[in-house]
Structure 1
Amino acid sequence: MTELTPLQNLWLTEAVRLREEHAGPLDDLEANRLARAAGGDLAGRIQRRALWLAERDGLTAALRHWLQGARLAVLLMAALACITGAGMAFSALGNGLGPVNIFWALGTLLGLNLILLLSWAVGLVFAGEHGAALGRLWLWLSEKLARDAKAAQLPPALMLLLQRHRLNRWAIGTLVNGLWLLIMLSALIMLVLLMATRQYDFIWESTLLGADFFAALTDALTAVPHALGWSAPRVDMIRVGLDSDYNRALVRQAWAIWLVGAVLIYGVLPRLILMLLCRWRWNRGRARLHLDLNLPGYAQLRERLMPSSERLGINDAAPEHLHRVESAVGAEVSEGALLVAIELDEQRPWPPALPKGVSDAGILDSRESRHRLLEQLTRFPPARLAIACDPRRSPDRGSLALVAELARNAAATRVWLLQAPQGQALDAERLGDWHVALQRLELPFADCAPMGWLENGHD
C-alpha cells in the first residue's frame, strides 16, 4: 500500500470534517482512542483520527481511485492538447498548394493563446481566486474516471483546503499553462515539420492596410527575437510581392524563420515561464499547508482527543516520581470494591461476571467519564480497586498517569492485565513494558481476574 503524502493526509482530514459537518458525527470511539494513544499535538491527533476513519469507511481507497482518474484525465487532456497544437499548425499553413498569408498564419498560431493568457493573468490579479475552464474540466474528468461514489466527496474538500491557503490559483495555473505549453510546443514542432517537407510561399494581403503598416508591425514583432539573435525579414523583403524579381527562396526562408521564432518567443516561452512560476509557488505553499484548528469541526475534537490525564505530563519530560502512587485513603474511610477498565476495544465483552459486593465503574474512554469517576472516588473511596488494562496498547504516560491518579483515591489497588482475545497474541515486548511501568508505580499486577481479592480482600 502506497504511503500517503502530507497533502493527501490533510486532504482526507478535510474530507472527513466536511462529511461530519453535513451528515453528523461519525462513530469514532476507537479512532479517538488510537489517536490519544499515539500522542502528539492536537493537529497530529486530528489527522490520525481522520485517517483511521477514512480507512475504515473506504475514503482512502476512494482517494487512490480519484488520483488514478486524475492522472488519466491529465493524460487525455495532454493528448488533446498535442492534437490541438498540430491542428493549429495545419490550419495556419494549409496544404502548400497556395501562398500563405503570413500575418493570418501568425494570428492563427498565437491569437487565441495570447487572448486566453491575458484573460488568465487579469483574472489572477484582479479576481484573486480565478477559476479556469480547463481546471474545472480536469476535476470533472477526474471524478468520472474514478468510478467511485465515495470519491465525490473529495474534490470539494481539496478545493476548500487549497482556497483556505490561496493555493488553488497556483495549482490551476500550473495545469492551464502546462497544457497550453504542450499546445504551443506541438504547434511549433508540426510547423517545423511542415516547412521541412513542403514548400510554402508567404505573402501579406490586405484591402485596407498598406505595406507600411505591415512593415511597422513586422518590425515591432521582430524586436524581441532580434534582441535574442534571431534573424528577421528586412523591410525590402516585406514590401516585395511574388511577382518581383527578388530571390524568392531567400524570402521564403526569411519568413519561415521569422514565423518559427515568433511562435517560440511569443507562444512557447511565456507559457513555460508562467508554468514554472506557478509550480514554484505551488511547491512553496504546499510545504506550509496545515490544519486550521479554529474551524468548528476541529475545535469540537479538542475535548475528545486531549484528555485531562495528559495534564499530568504526557507531552512534557517528566521526573521519575511523576506517577508514584502515594494513597492518602485510609482503611477507616474506605469501603466496598470497584472494577474499572481503561480504553478497551468495543469487541471485548465487558463487564465480566462480578461477585456480590463488587461494583462496575465501566470503561474510561473520555475526559468526562474520567472526571466523573475521580469525583466519585474522592467522595466515596473504595477499599479495593481493580484497574483492567489492555496490554496490547502501549503503556503511554497518559494511561500510566490515570492509573496512578485512580490508585491514589483507593485504599488498595491492583492492575489486571487482560488476556488477548481468542485468536490473537500479546506482544511480548509491549507486555514487558507494562510490567516495568507498573513496577515503577509499585502497583501489584496480574494477568488473571482478581475477583477473589475484590470480594474478600485476599486471593
Structure 2
Amino acid sequence: MLSPQDQLTELVRTLETQQHVFTTDPLLITEKLQGEDGKPIQKLHRRASRIDSNGALAQVLGKIDGRTKGIMVIMSVVWCISGFLGLFTLLQTNVVNFFYVLVCLLGFHTIMLAGWLIMTLINQGKQSSNWFASFVSPSYLIRGKDDVTLAAVNLYERQLQHSGMRWYLGRFSHQLWLATLTGMLLAIVFLLIVRQYSFSWESTLLADQTLIGLTNMLGWLPSMVGFSVPDSTAVIESRLAADAMSLSAARQWAGLLIGSLLMYGIVPRALA
C-alpha cells in the first residue's frame, strides 16, 4: 500500500485530470513552490498538502484506511476467540493424547505455511487475484457519489491490483493465523493452570525407543529457550497412561506442548 502522503499526492493528481475544483488554486501553489528548496518528490507532497488546505481529501482517505484496519482488527479478535474456543473444546478430557493434540494444533497450520512459501516463490512478480480485489473493494466501506470519494475508492482499487499487494494480503493472512495460535496458547495456559492433566501416547507400530527419539527431536528447539522436555522415563510412563501419571511427568509434557506451539507455530508466523 502507498503511504498516506503518497496516497494524497496521487489523489490530487487524479482529481486534477478530472478538472476538480479544489479549495486552493493548484496553479498558485505550484508557482510558490518553484522558489522553494527540496527534492521533486518532497515538493509534490508539499503541493498536495497545500492544495488540500481544508483536509477534506485526507479525511476521505483516512476514513477508508481506518475502516479497513478496523475490519482487520475485528477479524483478528474473532480468529483469536475461535482458536481459544476450539482448543478449549479439544482439551475437555483429563487424559490428553499428546501427539494427537499437537497435530490438531500445528498440522494444518504447518501445511498452510509451507504452501504460502511455495506459492510465494512460484508467483513472484505476478498480480494479486482480481476476485480478491472485488471482494475487498473499498466501495463497500464508504458511501458517496461525489468525485472525491469515487477517486479515492478508485485509488485503493488500483493498489489492490498491484503485484506488491500480495505481500500486504500475505501479512494479513499471517496476522489471522497468529491471532488463532495466540488464542490457542491462551487456552492451553488457562487450562493447565485450572485443571490437572495426564498426557499419553498410543501406537501399534512404534516402539518406546522410537518415541523417545521423536520426542527428543521435537523438544530440541523448545529446550533451547528453556522449555522442559520429557525424559525417557516420562515417555515410557506416558504410554497408555491413566490418571495416575506423576505430576513431574505431566509438567514435562505440558512444557513441551507450550514450547512446541510457540517455537513451531507462533514464532514462524510472526517472522513470516
**Deviation, structure 1 residue 262:** 0.8
Q: Helix, strand or coil: the match of 1:238? A: helix
- On the 8 A contact 1:215/1:238 being kept in 2, the answer is yes
1:262 equivalenced with 2:260 (yes/no)? yes
**Deviation, structure 1 residue 264:** 1.4
Partner of 2:31: 36
1:226 equivalenced with 2:227 (yes/no)? no
**Deviation, structure 1 residue 212:** 4.7
CA distance 1:57–1:269, change in 2 (3 Å): closer
Offset from partner CA, 1:109-160 (integer Å, 9 cap, x none): 1122222222223333342357889xx59x8286534445524223234446
CA distance 1:46–1:227, change in 2 (3 Å): closer
Partner of 1:75: 73
Partner of 1:238: 235
List alignment gaps of at least 5 residues for structure 2. none
CA distance 1:17–1:205, change in 2 (3 Å): farther
Distance in 2 (alpha carbons) for counterparts of 1:270 and 1:246 = 36
Task: Please state which structure has a larger fraction of its residues in strand.
Answer: 1
1:26 equivalenced with 2:38 (yes/no)? no
Offset from partner CA, 1:66-125 (integer Å, 9 cap, x none): 0220231122022112112203422442x125x322111111111222222222233333
CA distance 1:123–1:53, change in 2 (3 Å): farther
Distance in 1 (alpha carbons) for counterparts of 2:264 and 2:245 = 28
- The structure with more radius of gyration: 1
CA distance 1:68–1:192, change in 2 (3 Å): same
Q: Helix, strand or coil: the match of 1:230? A: coil
- On the 8 A contact 1:242/1:248 being kept in 2, the answer is no
Distance in 2 (alpha carbons) for counterparts of 1:194 and 1:270 = 24
Partner of 2:106: 110
Q: Helix, strand or coil: the match of 2:80? A: helix
CA distance 1:242–1:96, change in 2 (3 Å): same
- On the 8 A contact 1:69/1:145 being kept in 2, the answer is yes
Distance in 2 (alpha carbons) for counterparts of 1:245 and 1:108 = 22
Number of aligned residue pairs: give it. 257
Distance in 1 (alpha carbons) for counterparts of 2:56 and 2:82 = 38
Partner of 1:359: none
Partner of 2:64: 66
Q: 1:123 aligns with which of 119, 125, 142?
A: 119
Q: Helix, strand or coil: the match of 1:229? A: coil
Higher relative contact order (CA 8 A, sep 6+): 2
**Deviation, structure 1 residue 192:** 0.9
1:189 equivalenced with 2:186 (yes/no)? yes
Q: Helix, strand or coil: the match of 1:191? A: helix
**Deviation, structure 1 residue 202:** 1.9
Distance in 2 (alpha carbons) for counterparts of 1:194 and 1:245 = 16
Structure 2 matches for 1:43-58, cutoff 5 A?
43-44=41-42, 46-47=44-45
Offset from partner CA, 1:169-225 (integer Å, 9 cap, x none): 554444333333332222112101112112222222345555454333222211112
Distance in 2 (alpha carbons) for counterparts of 1:202 and 1:130 = 47
Identity of aligned residues (%): 26
Task: Please state which structure has a larger fraction of its residues in helix.
Answer: 2
CA distance 1:19–1:123, change in 2 (3 Å): farther
